[in-house]
Amino acid sequence: MFLYEKKLQYPVKIKNPNAKFAKIIISQLGGPDGELAAAMRYLHQRYTVPYGQIVGILTDVAVEELAHLEMVAAILYQLTKGLSPEEIRAAGMDQYFVDHTAGLYPASAAGVPCDMKYIGVKGDLLADLNEDLAAEQKARVTYDNILRLVDDPDVQDPIRYLRARELVHYQRFGDALRIAQDKLDEKNFYAFNPSFDKICPNGGCNH
């Protein structure tokens, strides 16, 4: 089960609301490389993985992504709190406002609602771990792009923290891929899917 702890993983304290920044940063809530998609990707990939170390990595990274989802939500909440309809209109947030008011709806910066098409659960350990490595890099790029567009230090600080975590997760998924490959037939990694094929007592593959 999951247990909620009433604190953010890292502080978010933004003095000046700014709807223009919120319009960009919302992509890390519900965009293609956002935190919601990341958490769902790892949580659902882990069930058929036969190696405890890799199940541990997928579980713990997924849970941290939920903490990051909450941090992104805190950034968006504080950036949009107390804005007048005039300020919302001036920032171009009126198209979002008409459907969601100041509520936090997971969507991309372009307004596309979050979609499970953003994630892959192939059920093949090497395919899924390679997707996860790419996903962490794509999320890192999105944070880099946000840092190119946002100049408020109160916003930059938690965004930099989130960016750094993508790099650490990339390292851990690299470890996971190494652990998986160490357990496979070195002559042909791809002849055997440990998440599905039965492990032969004599080693090697069974098809």
Partner 1 sequence: MLYGNELLKEIQAEDFAVYEAALYLDAHPNCEKALAYYREHKCAVKKLKEKYEELYGPLTIYSSADCDSWQWVNGPWPWEKEAN
Rounded CA-CA distance 12/142 in Å is: 19
**In this chain, which stretch among 1-9, 32-40, 122-130, 143-151 interacts with partner 1, using CB under 8 A?**
1-9
95 binds partner 1 (CB under 8 A): no
Among 1, 3, 98, 110, which residue sits at the site for partner 1 (rule: CB under 8 A)? 3
DSSP states of 149-176 as a string? Answer: H---HHHHHHHHHHHHHHHHHHHHHHHH
* Closest approach of partner 1 to the CB of residue 202, in Å: 27
Closer CB to partner 1, 23 or 165, in the complex:
165
* Closest approach of partner 1 to the CB of residue 125, in Å: 15
Among 20, 44, 50, 56, which residue sits at the site for partner 1 (rule: CB under 8 A)? 56
Among 138, 179, 183, 197, which residue sits at the site for partner 1 (rule: CB under 8 A)? 179
Rounded CA-CA distance 98/50 in Å is: 47
All residues at 6 or more sequence positions from 122 whose CB lies less than 8 Å from its CB, including other chains = 128, 131
Among 1, 2, 6, 182, which residue sits at the site for partner 1 (rule: CB under 8 A)? 6
18 binds partner 1 (CB under 8 A): no
133 binds partner 1 (CB under 8 A): no
Among 112, 175, 191, 199, which residue sits at the site for partner 1 (rule: CB under 8 A)? 175
Rounded CA-CA distance 32/26 in Å is: 11
Among 11, 37, 61, residue whose Cα is nearest residue 138: 37
Rounded CA-CA distance 39/59 in Å is: 9
Among 33, 34, 101, residue whose Cα is nearest residue 71: 34
Among 98, 102, 101, 109, residue whose Cα is nearest residue 29: 109
Among 22, 38, 74, 107, which residue sits at the site for partner 1 (rule: CB under 8 A)? 74
Q: Where along the sequence are the contacts to partner 1 (CB under 8 A)?
A: 3-15, 53, 56-57, 60-61, 64, 70, 73-74, 77-78, 81, 168-169, 172, 175-176, 179
